[in-house]
Each structure stands twice: as structure tokens, then as C-alpha cells.
Structure 1
Amino acid sequence: MEQWFENLLWRSRMIVISGVIASMVGAVALFYMASVDAFYMVAHLLHYASPELDMAARAILRGETVTHVVEIVDGYLLATFLLIFGLGLYELFISKIDLAEGSETASQVLLITSLDGLKERLAKVVLMILVVRYFEYALGMGFHTSMELLQFAAGIALLGLALYLSHLGNRSH
């Protein structure tokens, strides 16, 4: 009875496959969305060099393009998050990925050996997403008071501190 129950417990880890599949489908969908957005952004820019476009319209187009680029980067980062999460779940709960372990070209980012390692990699991606989101938000900001400018500067300083502390954490490993 005990052996049967332990066998059942061990095989129940296969439920994680649903999370792996959902993460991979989500990653593919986000890569697709970000790639489509990038294609349309470039197509939208084809008339940028047109002599009919005045400087004000060109400046507006440039600003919109920078915002679109940030959104595209954000989409790719979210897709990367899901990819790392899916691969990490698979490696931790199901099986090691033989192709990744034996390959000289495989990135160490995708080799997950512990739950802490998975959390650490995901935290770095989340931090980058937050940096990109802050940048996206900052592009649309208009400063009306010196306090708003000071708060914006404090936000940048805190992001810099977070990146610095993240870098310190990398060196300790």
C-alpha cells in the first residue's frame, strides 16, 4: 500500500506538464504578437523620410515609434519570462532536457537546477520588465511641478539601485 501511494505521489508531478504547455503556448503567442507589432511599426515608418512630412509630424512619429519599440521589448521580455518559466518547471519537476545539458551552444540561462535558480532568473526578467514599463511610462510624462520631476528622479534612482543590487547578487554566485 505504501509503495503504491508513493508511486501515485511521484507520478502526480506530471500535472506540472499543464503549466509547461500553457507557458510555452503563451510564450509563442507573445513572441508572435511582439513580432507582428515590430513588423507593423517598421511598415508605419516607411513614410518617415517623406519630404511631405514636416518637422512637427516627424517628431510626433518619432515619439510614437519610441513608445512602440518599448512596448515591443516589453512583449519579448514577457515571452522570455514564460519560456524560462516553462522550461524551468519541466527541468525541476519532470526531467532534465538532454539537448540543453550536452550542448555547447545552450545558454546557461535556460539550465535550471533548483527552484531558487528559477526564481532568481524570473526575478531578473521581471526587473527588466519593470524597467521597460517605467521607461514607457516616463515617455508620456509631462512635468508640471518640481516635485513631479523630483519624484521621477527618485524613481530612476530606485531602479538604478535595484539593478545594482541585482548585479551584486550575480557576483556572489
Structure 2
Amino acid sequence: MTQRGRLQASPMERSFERLIWKFRLITLIPVVMSLLGSVSCFAIGTYAELSALNKVLQGHFTYTNSTLLIGKVVGGIDYYLIGIALLIFGYGIYELVISDIDPCQQDPSEIRRNLLNIESLDGLKQKLTKVIVVALIVTAFKSMVGFQVSTITELLMFCAGVLMLAFSAWLLGQTRSH
């Protein structure tokens, strides 16, 4: 519609459009909740890391339970990755629907500025997908650390799992070049 056509819009139509435009602010709810969820995941991950470190420093580990400690450390990393995914989601929704994040735009570092600069819904999905796939790889690794191999079938399943993880990591690397 041309500028001249906009001037001929009725006052009721202009009021309704202003209301619709303001309604986008409802997306502040998922933005704030995802940022709070991110903080929660960082706190849980830190607790898991400190708990494992505490057991190591106190000498409460043996060969048998060292696998459990490694699982705790990897679990902490998994919580961090989920926290990062929530952070990216919150930033992305804010930038897509509400406004650009001004301090991010003023950062002299091009790398950091592009890290969270979300320009489209597809861009947000791509960034989230990468973080989620990495989190799934870490979760699979956590499960595989304590996996006991006792038969040839279990060994083949373990190898297939490692192969799928490697293929997933390779696919993630391929998406960076496109």
C-alpha cells in the first residue's frame, strides 16, 4: 500500500493496527522464561561439575566409580549446552519480534556480533539445531562412558553408536561451510 493509501485508512483501522503491533510484546514472556531457564541450567551444570570435583578432591573415587564421576562431568557440560540453547532462543526471539539488541550491534568484534545476530526464523532454527545436536552427542557420550560390553552384539551396537556420533559431528562441520 502506498503512503497516500495509508493516509486514507480509517482511524479504527489505524488503532487496530497499533494494537496488533503492540501485541508482539507478548513474546517477552518466552524470552524472559528462556533466559531464566538458561540461568537455571547453568546453575545445575555448575553444581554437577563442583560435585564431581569435590569427590575427586576428597579422594572418594575408585576405578569402579570413576565412570560415574566422568558421567557427572559430562552431564554438567550437557546442562551448559542446554542453557546455551535457551540463551540463543531468548536472544533470537527478542531480535526477531521485538528489537535488535543494541549492545550486540555496537560490539567491535565481528565474530561476537554475528554469534547471536539472528536475522530470520530459519537462522534461529539453524543455530538452535546445531547446539541441540551437540547436546545430544554429549548425552550419548555420557551414556556410552558407562556402557559395559559383554557380547559381540553389544560391541557392534556400541561401534554403530560411535559411528553415528562421528557422522553427526561431521554433518555439523559441513553446515558451517555452507
> Separation in 2 of the partners of 1:145 and 1:61?
22
Return the offset for 1:61: 3.9
Aligned to 1:19: 30
What are the Cα deviations for residues 57-91 of structure 1, in whole angstroms up to 9, with x where unaligned?
52124222211111100010111111111011101
CA contact under 8 A between 1:74 and 1:129: conserved in structure 2?
A: yes
> Which secondary structure does the structure 1 equivalent of 2:149 belong to?
coil
- Where does 1:52-63 land on structure 2 (aligned, <5 Å)? 58-63=62-67
| Residues 109, 121 of structure 1: 8 Å contact kept | no
Q: Which runs of 5+ in 1 are unaligned?
A: none
**Matches of 1:146 and 1:136, distance apart in 2:** 21
Q: Following TM superposition, where does structure 1 have runs of at least 4 consecutive aligned residues deviating by more than 3 angstroms?
A: none
Counterpart residue number, 1:39: 50
Coordinate RMSD, CA, aligned: 1.6
**Structure showing greater Rg:** 2
Aligned residues: 165
Quick check: 1:99 aligned with 2:103? yes
Q: State TM-score, norm by structure 2.
A: 0.86
Aligned partners of 1:41, 1:107: CA distance in 2, in Å? 35
Task: State the distance in 2 between where 1:63 and 1:142 align.
Answer: 11
Corresponding position of 2:39:
28
1:16 aligned counterpart, secondary structure: helix
Tell me, what secondary structure is at the counterpart of 1:26?
A: helix
**Counterpart amino acid of residue 58 in structure 1:** T
Match of 1:123 among 126, 129, 136: 129
Which residue of 150, 155, 160 maps to 2:166?
Answer: 160
Counterparts of 1:104 and 1:89 in 2: how far apart (Å)? 23
The sequence identity of aligned pairs, in percent, is 34
Partner of 2:71: 67
- Normalised to the residue count of structure 1, the TM-score between the two structures is 0.88
Contact in 2 for aligned 1:38/1:69 (Cα 8 Å) = yes
Please, which of 152, 170, 173 is the counterpart of residue 176 of structure 2?
170
Distance 1:100 1:170 in 2: 22
Deviations 1:69-117 (A, max 9, x none): 1110001011111111101110110000010011024352211111111
> Runs of 5+ in structure 2 lacking a partner?
1-11
